[in-house]
């Protein structure tokens, strides 16, 4: 029986503002790889968010303040999804599982918002392991006090959904709110009829 719905942050709860910001700049393939490498290091807790911002800015040839403002200007959330999460939270535990530097979620959501919408928040940078490593899914399940087959995970990256399935969870590739809601409700109906 499904007991929890687990959400990725960037590309699901929030649009991927870093990719959007990079898209507004003239960036070479090498720079894109450098940016990804820096982000991966921050997501594993090897760099602080401040260090990552400074290194991103250096790669792009702009100031850390300009980079921070550019990323923030592209960040947004779908209010329909958040309203839906409140509905889901009446019947299920909810969680965020994100590859993000430690404190990255609390910089984007107030403590009150997090408590209102989510029971558990897992940041890869805080535990030193990220998706698609099975350990981060297991860590999230443990914090939720549930078994793998009792959770549905959604992410905008197929490889992270595939890793969740390998870890025993159900998964939905997030391509937009309407499709996610339809896919989730289909899974929940099938679960309730089993």
Q: Provide the percentage of residues in the chain whose pLDDT is more than 70.
A: 100
Model pLDDT for residues 147-188, shown as the tens digit of each residue: 999 999 999 999 999 999 999 999 999 999 999 999 999 999
Q: Give pLDDT, residue 115.
A: 97
DSSP structural state of residue 136: H
In this predicted structure, the answer to whether residue 12 has a pLDDT above a threshold of 90 is yes
Of 98, 70, 82, 80, give the one whose Cα is nearest residue 154. 98
Q: Give pLDDT, residue 171.
A: 98
* DSSP per-residue string spanning 17-80: HHHHHHHTS---HHHHHHHHHHHHHHHTTSS-HHHHHHHHHHHHTS-HHHHHHHHHHT--B-HH
Establish whether the linkage from the previous residue to 146 is cis, with ω within 30° of 0.
no
Q: Give pLDDT, residue 61.
A: 92
Report residue 163: phi and psi, to 5°.
-65, -40
Distance CA 151, CA 148 (A): 6
pTM: 0.89
Distance CA 44, CA 123 (A): 9
Of 192, 153, 190, 151, give the one whose Cα is nearest residue 174. 153
Q: Give pLDDT, residue 9.
A: 96
Model pLDDT for residues 117-147, shown as the tens digit of each residue: 999 999 999 999 999 999 999 999 999 999 9
Q: Is the pLDDT higher at 74 or at 31?
A: 31
């Amino acid at each position: 029986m499904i007991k929890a719905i687990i959400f990725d942050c960037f590309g699901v709860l929030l649009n991927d503002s870093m990719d959007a910001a990079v898209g507004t700049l003239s960036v070479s393939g090498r720079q894109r790889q450098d940016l990804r490498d820096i982000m991966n290091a921050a997501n594993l807790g090897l760099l602080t968010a401040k260090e990552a911002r400074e290194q991103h800015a250096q790669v792009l040839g702009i100031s850390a303040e300009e980079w921070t403002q550019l990323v923030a200007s592209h960040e947004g959330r779908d209010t329909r999804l958040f309203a839906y999460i409140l509905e889901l939270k009446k019947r299920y535990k909810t969680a965020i599982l994100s590859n993000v530097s430690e404190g990255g979620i609390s910089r984007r959501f107030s403590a009150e918002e997090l408590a209102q919408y989510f029971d558990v928040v897992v940041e890869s940078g805080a535990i030193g392991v990220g998706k698609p490593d099975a350990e981060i899914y297991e860590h999230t399940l443990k914090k939720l006090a549930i078994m793998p087959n009792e959770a549905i995970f959604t992410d905008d990256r197929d490889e992270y959904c595939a890793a969740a399935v390998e870890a025993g969870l159900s998964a939905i590739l997030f391509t937009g709110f309407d499709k996610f809601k339809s896919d989730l409700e289909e899974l929940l109906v099938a679960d309730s009829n089993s």
